[in-house]
Amino acid sequence: MTGSILVLFLVQFFWLSSVYKDYKNSLTQETRLLFATTVTGMLDSLVLKELKPVFVPGIPDTVFMKKHFNKLNYKDTLRSVRIEINREEVKGDSSAEKDRKILVFTAGDEFLGDSIKGIFRPIIQGIDSLKWENRFTFSMDGQSLDAEQIAKKFNEVLASNNYPLRAEVQRFELDQGSGTVPKGAISLEEIRIPFGTRIIGYIESYQGFLLQKMLLPFLFALLVILLISWSMLAMYRNMLKQQRLNLLKNDIISNITHELKTPVSTVAIVLESLENFGANDKAELRKEYIQIAKNELKRLTAMADNILKSSVLEKETKLSFEFLEMDFLLEEKIQSFKPILESQGFIFRYLKEGNDFKLKGDTEQLGLVIFNLLDNAVKYSKDEKNIEISLKEKENKISITIKDKGVGIPEAYQKEIFEKFIRVPQQDLHDVKGYGLGLAQVATIVQAHHGKILLESHVGKGSSFTVQFQKA
Q: Is 127 helix (H, G, I), strand (E, B) or coil?
A: helix
- pLDDT, residue 63, reads 41
pLDDT tens digits for 43-82?
Answer: 777 765 655 544 444 444 434 333 333 333 333 333 344 4
**Nearby residues of 431 by Cβ (< 8 Å), 6 or more positions away:** none
The dihedral sign for the CA sequence 310, 314, 320, 323? positive
| Average pLDDT of the chain to the nearest whole number | 76
pLDDT tens digits for 265-314?
Answer: 777 777 777 776 665 567 777 777 788 778 778 767 766 776 666 555 55
Distance from C-alpha of 232 to C-alpha of 8, rounded to nearest angstrom: 11
Q: Phi then psi for 145, rounded to 5 degrees?
A: -140, 85
- pLDDT, residue 157, reads 94
For the stretch 158-161, contacts whose Cβ atoms lie closer than 8 Å and that sit 24 or more positions apart, written own/partner, are: 158/31, 158/34, 161/30, 161/34
Which of 106, 124, 122, 101 is closest to 193 using CA atoms?
122
Distance from C-alpha of 394 to C-alpha of 380, rounded to nearest angstrom: 30
Task: Categorize the per-residue pLDDT at 162 as very low, low, confident or very high, splitting at 50, 70 and 90.
Answer: very high
Topology of domain 249-314, CATH: Helix Hairpins (1.10.287)
Task: Categorize the per-residue pLDDT at 425 as very low, low, confident or very high, splitting at 50, 70 and 90.
Answer: low
Distance from C-alpha of 205 to C-alpha of 192, rounded to nearest angstrom: 25
Query: Is residue 14 over pLDDT 60?
Result: yes
In Å, how far are 340, 350, 434, 438 from 375, measured between CA atoms?
Answer: 10, 16, 11, 9
Ranges of each domain in the chain: 1-208, 212-241, 249-314, 322-470
pLDDT tens digits for 101-148?
Answer: 444 444 444 444 444 555 555 555 555 555 444 445 555 555 567 888
Distance from C-alpha of 174 to C-alpha of 373, rounded to nearest angstrom: 99
- pLDDT, residue 90, reads 47
Topology of domain 322-470, CATH: Heat Shock Protein 90 (3.30.565)
Neighbours of 387 (CB within 10 A): 22
pLDDT tens digits for 316-359?
Answer: 556 788 999 999 999 988 888 787 788 888 998 999 998 889 99
Task: Categorize the per-residue pLDDT at 315 as very low, low, confident or very high, splitting at 50, 70 and 90.
Answer: low
pLDDT tens digits for 178-218?
Answer: 667 888 899 998 888 766 678 889 999 999 999 999 999 99
- pLDDT, residue 99, reads 46
Distance from C-alpha of 59 to C-alpha of 57, rounded to nearest angstrom: 6
